Structure 1
Amino acid sequence: MTSDNTGSEDDRAVRAVLDSIYAAWADNDADAFAAPYAETATAVLPGAYLPGRKAIRDTMASLFAGELKGSSARHEVQDVRFAGADTAVVISKGAILLAGQTTPDPANRALETWVLARHGRDWRVQAFHNCPERAAVADGEA
């Protein structure tokens, strides 16, 4: 599913923000990873709430030095929807590849929600949330 804005300048700009975050992950660069996040951004991950860009950066620096050292991540945008001229909601699927892996373990697959807002000419991540893909219920399944 995609929005009617697929291919628009704003759509491309929003997708480029996510691409830059995942490129920074591949480099295990916490500063570059956190740079596209707004100062007051939040991230909600299974078992963790990260309030602010500094908390997001510090958490990723710790993870890149530890359990995620040498890892990379993949993402596949499912939908980009604009809730106004300056706000985008993105739904994506993500997966972490630990060092040495060529395919992600099913336990490392996630469904993600991103909220981005325009700040001047730039788009900034305001909020990020993910949940394990395996725990999600699809299309009315229970």
Structure 2
Amino acid sequence: MNTTRDAQQAIRELFTAMEDAWNRGDGNAYAACFTQDASYTAFFGTVYRGRADIAGGHQALFDSVLKGTTMFNEIVEVRFYGTDTAVVLGRGDVGKKRPGKLPKVQTYTLVRDADGQWRIAAFQNTKRNRLMEGFTFKVTPAAAPRRS
């Protein structure tokens, strides 16, 4: 699997597996989408370190406050850095129903693991604050990112 198209397909399959695991409330299967030494930063600032920490923390959440939730993801962009590293920019959220707009901006750093499978090595989840963003760009227009 050396082509960019094959790698993109494998990454989409990884995201499908991650969503499936979340939707089933399976902390171990969810964490299997991450490298053994992954870092995972939740939108409110909690940092999980390593697959076991991700599995345990998420299973506790799936069994309580996140019970019965569904994961919603949208891949915005995939950029490759060599044949075994990619950065995925996405939007997402979790809940009982899909929101109109996915409010969280997510960055995934992926690597092709020793077994040839793509896994997430680092994850950052930020809840977008459109009000603050709009205010900032109105006051300081040059701070707005260029759209391509």
TM-score (norm 1): 0.84
Structure 2 gap segments, 5+ residues each = 138-142
**1:78 Cα deviation (Å)?**
0.1
Query: Which string of whole-angstrom CA distances, capped at 9 and with x for unpartnered residues, describes residues 54-105 of structure 1?
Result: 111111101001100000110000000001110010000001113xxx3338
For 1:13, which of 3, 10, 14 is the aligned residue? Answer: 10
Tell me what 1:123 maps to: 118
Largest Rg, 1 or 2: 2
Pick the aligned partner of 2:73 from 63, 72, 75: 75
Size of the aligned set, in residue pairs, is 132
More helix by share: 2
Q: Which amino acid aligns with 1:127?
A: A
Q: Distance in 1 between matches of 2:91 and 2:54?
A: 20
2:108 and 2:133 map into 1 onto residues whose CA distance is 19
1:44–1:129 CA contact under 8 A, matched in 2: yes
Structure 1 SS opposite 2:41: strand
RMSD (CA atoms): 2.3
Contact 2:48/2:54, CA 8 A, preserved across alignment = yes
Q: Does the 8 Å contact 1:97/1:105 carry over to 2?
A: no
Alignment of 1:7-46 (within 5 A): 8-45=5-42, 46=44
The structure with higher relative contact order (CA 8 Å, sep 6+) is: 1
- The whole-number CA distance in structure 1 between the counterparts of 2:61 and 2:103 is 17
